Amino acid sequence: MEETLLLKDLNCPNCAAKIEDRIRKMDVVETANFTIATHQLKLTGSWEDREALKRDIQDICDAIEEGVTVADYERKSKAAMDDHDHDHGSDAVTIAVIVAGLLFMAYEGLTTVVPSIGLPESIETPIYYIAYILLAFPVLRIAGRNILKGQVFDENFLMSIATLGAIAIDALPEAVGVILFYRIGEFFEEKATDRSRTEIMNAVDMRPQEVRVVDTCGGGEIVVMAPEKVEVGSTIEVRPGDLIPLDGTVLEGETRVNTAPVTGEPVPVRAVPGTQLMSGCINESGRITMRVDKVLEESMVTKILDAVENAASSKPKIDRFITRFARVYTPIVVFLALAVAIIPSLITGEWHKWIYTALTFLVISCPCALVLSVPLAFFSGIGNASKHGILLKGGRVIEALANVKAVALDKTGTITSGEFKVQNVETVGSHVSNTQLLSMAAAIEAVSTHPIATSIVSEAKAQGITVEASDFVQELAGEGMVGMTDGQQVLVGNRRLMERYAVQGYPTEAAEYGTEVLVAEGNTYLGRIIIADEARPDSAEAIADLNGQDIKTVMLTGDAEASANYIAKETGVSAVRAQLLPQDKLSVVQDIRSEYGPTMFVGDGINDAPVLAGADVGGAMGSGADAAIEAADVVFMRPSLTAIAHILDLSKATLRVAWQNVVFAIAVKILIMALGLMGYASMWWAVFGDTGVSILCILNSVRILRRN
């Protein structure tokens, strides 16, 4: 069984890791993944009573983090998501307490500069205590409650011990200052996290807030409805500048549609009656009406949002490592603080100094900056990819992409457009002109639906030739077609067809590239038509980018060696594996991995499912179809190789930022502990090492979202 729940108001990453671990140990739960960026808890297991499961999870949350509510997951509408449901009353109280604390600190600063204006000690000391109680009460209350429940090593307990210890050694003003800046840092850390989460989700959530439905039974009046209420078959209006709200087909009107929000493609495409449009694109120029083909939950905008949310729940190795590290880090630092307080004091007798140093250790022992910064960095990377029309299957995919050393590219539909076009027409002697040869071949091929036949007919029509299908056309499987034109037998096909009819004079050497279609009249060879699948306009540039990243590019194709080498030379591909059968591709990809290292395979995501699954990373190119999304680790919504270079570069940057956060957080904590041992770092520094570093790591993570 699978279930998705919401853990509302769970913002502490350290507590979230503890809750997730406790839930995972429940007898009825097999897997549990909590994503702090979306507050979603995804479960698999074998429970019988869903409500009992929720109650048990609520008990776990209550034992670890106060105020967390277990709720059913129900995706809010875009309009509802835009309205913040945060407790503004709680914010007001927190801000008031912080302002009062800042006034206190201003007084403290003035009395330090001008001691004569200070209040008498008999008045000043009670004010200190009142300020401390106002600021520390929520922290002390939660710490006391958690101690009774056996939860000792959390930030509330550590901050309580640190500040109460400061009071015990006659550092009352500093205790007030430390708890003040802890509360300020905690407040801004929560705001920064919420802001980052909202910014990332807004970047990928393209769902409409409303839909203009045409009332076909009421005289064509427009009825504004919530998108989730619109049914399949409804007629909707999309005005210039509006978002395409649901997947559908144009019924009336003509316009140009900007698909960049979904596919990343910057060039608008023309839309006319019959054109199928994906939700999330923007109608740029004309008013159109559309027939709704899919409800909101099945439309592209929701699929993209699902992909991003599911990706966020797939945790990378570095995230799992940091979570395990955090479990041992805090107890180690706490026991180290205890040792610092006792051992040097017994030797030197300076109990005041070493207890103070130990208190700084307690303040800095919370691992929140470590636990929070890594998932937020990966979530930002997933959001950036989505903005560029790239869907990822999780943080683990980003790690795998960052390590890719070779990219195996399926030729047809990936390096090339997948559409056959006539490249050249060659005639022999003066029997017929190029135009006449093309006209004769088109007349024979007009009755066929084969892509090669279609390309010949299309080229003839493009040159203004009137194509009339020949009579008595016969198709010979694997050879070509034979028909009658103007009373003459015309042959259109390959060399085997020429041999069958004893045609004389056709070339013994195959064309340098592409597929050749030989044309003969009777047993007289007239010429040939060269047809090829053209390289995409941006293939050479994209492959150059990949080569610039020291990525080996290998083209896989079933084409002949000469044709494959021609495309490879034109685009700059490093190596070619030609004349492959579909079943050969998986073993070839495994050979490439053995030769170069971790390998990404990019195909169409439908026909190449075994290869996509067998590669280190599988990418589906140019398809938003369900089959592609299911088969691949990465789905490129726009059929462009430039997206491959972008995602490889983005993955390296994301992993780099995640490690920057980890190294920075650990380095600052170690530095402050070292300076504390030498007598230079105060508890104020320790507060920065906890909450200040968390905020800086959050801001560093969000940089990835804005990366081009």
Class of domain 2-74: alpha beta
Q: Who has greater pLDDT, 202 or 528?
A: 528
Region of residue 2 (left: phi > 0; alpha: psi -120 to 50; beta: else): beta
Both structure tokens of 170: 């006659």
Dihedral in degrees, nearest 10, Cα atoms 274, 275, 281, 285: -80
The closest alpha carbon to 503, from 515, 489, 516, belongs to: 489
Q: Who has greater pLDDT, 395 or 212?
A: 212
Q: Which of 154, 410, 633, 690 is catalytic?
A: 410
Query: What is the percent of the chain with per-residue pLDDT over 90, rounded to a whole number?
Result: 27
Both structure tokens of 672: 């402050």
Q: What is the pLDDT of residues 531-567, one digit of tens each?
A: 887 888 888 999 999 998 999 999 998 777 877 888 8
546 with 382: CB under 8 angstroms?
no
The total of other beta-carbon atoms located within 10 Å of residue 65's CB is: 23
pLDDT band at 238 (very low <50, low <70, confident <90, very high): very high
The closest alpha carbon to 438, from 533, 526, 532, 513, belongs to: 526
Q: Where in the chain is the domain with CATH 3.30.70.100?
A: 2-74
- Written as one letter, the residue type at 273 is P
Edge to edge, the sheet with strand 29-35 lists: 29-35, 40-45, 2-8, 69-72
Q: Measuring CA to CA, how many Å separate 188 from each of 155, 191, 696?
A: 16, 5, 11
| Mean pLDDT across the chain | 84
Q: Residue 113: which H helix or E strand, with range?
A: helix 88-113
Q: Who has greater pLDDT, 696 or 630?
A: 696
Q: What is the pLDDT of residues 270-281, one digit of tens each?
A: 999 999 998 989
The closest alpha carbon to 693, from 656, 657, 661, belongs to: 661
Both structure tokens of 708: 């081009």
What's the CA gap between 518 and 527, in Å, rounded?
6
- Whether 85 shows a pLDDT value over 50: the answer reads no
- Whether 78 shows a pLDDT value over 60: the answer reads no
Q: Where in the chain is the domain with CATH 2.70.150.10?
A: 211-242+247-293
- Asked about 410 being catalytic, the answer comes back as yes
Q: Who has greater pLDDT, 51 or 510?
A: 51
Confidence (pLDDT) at 150: 72
In the three-class reduction of DSSP (H, G, I as helix; E, B as strand; rest coil), residue 224 is classed as strand
Does the domain at 211-242+247-293 match CATH 3.30.70.1140? Answer given as no
- Whether 310 shows a pLDDT value over 80: the answer reads no
Q: Which range has the top average pLDDT, 17-26, 183-192, 246-255?
A: 246-255
Q: Measuring CA to CA, how many Å separate 16 from each of 167, 487, 662?
A: 31, 83, 18
Give residues with Cβ within 8 angstroms of 412, minimum separation 6: 418, 533, 557
pLDDT band at 205 (very low <50, low <70, confident <90, very high): confident
Q: Where in the chain is the domain with CATH 3.40.1110.10?
A: 417-534
The closest alpha carbon to 318, from 579, 701, 707, belongs to: 701
Q: What is the pLDDT of residues 409-435, one digit of tens each?
A: 988 778 887 778 898 899 987 778 999
The closest alpha carbon to 38, from 184, 205, 216, 181, belongs to: 205
Q: Who has greater pLDDT, 4 or 607?
A: 4
Confidence (pLDDT) at 625: 54
The closest alpha carbon to 371, from 24, 15, 4, 25, belongs to: 15
Burial class, 484, CB count within 10 angstroms (exposed 0-12 / middle 13-18 / buried 19+): middle
Give this prediction's pTM: 0.73
Q: What is the pLDDT of residues 153-166, one digit of tens each?
A: 677 787 888 888 88
What's the CA gap between 540 and 569, in Å, rounded?
9
What's the CA gap between 89 and 96, in Å, rounded?
11
The total of other beta-carbon atoms located within 10 Å of residue 584's CB is: 14
In the three-class reduction of DSSP (H, G, I as helix; E, B as strand; rest coil), residue 442 is classed as helix
- Mean pLDDT, residues 293-319: 80
Q: What angle do CA 631, 635, 640 make, to 5 degrees?
A: 130
659 with 152: CB under 8 angstroms?
no
pLDDT band at 79 (very low <50, low <70, confident <90, very high): low
Dihedral in degrees, nearest 10, Cα atoms 239, 244, 248, 253: 30
Question: Under CATH, which number does the domain 417-534 receive?
Answer: 3.40.1110.10
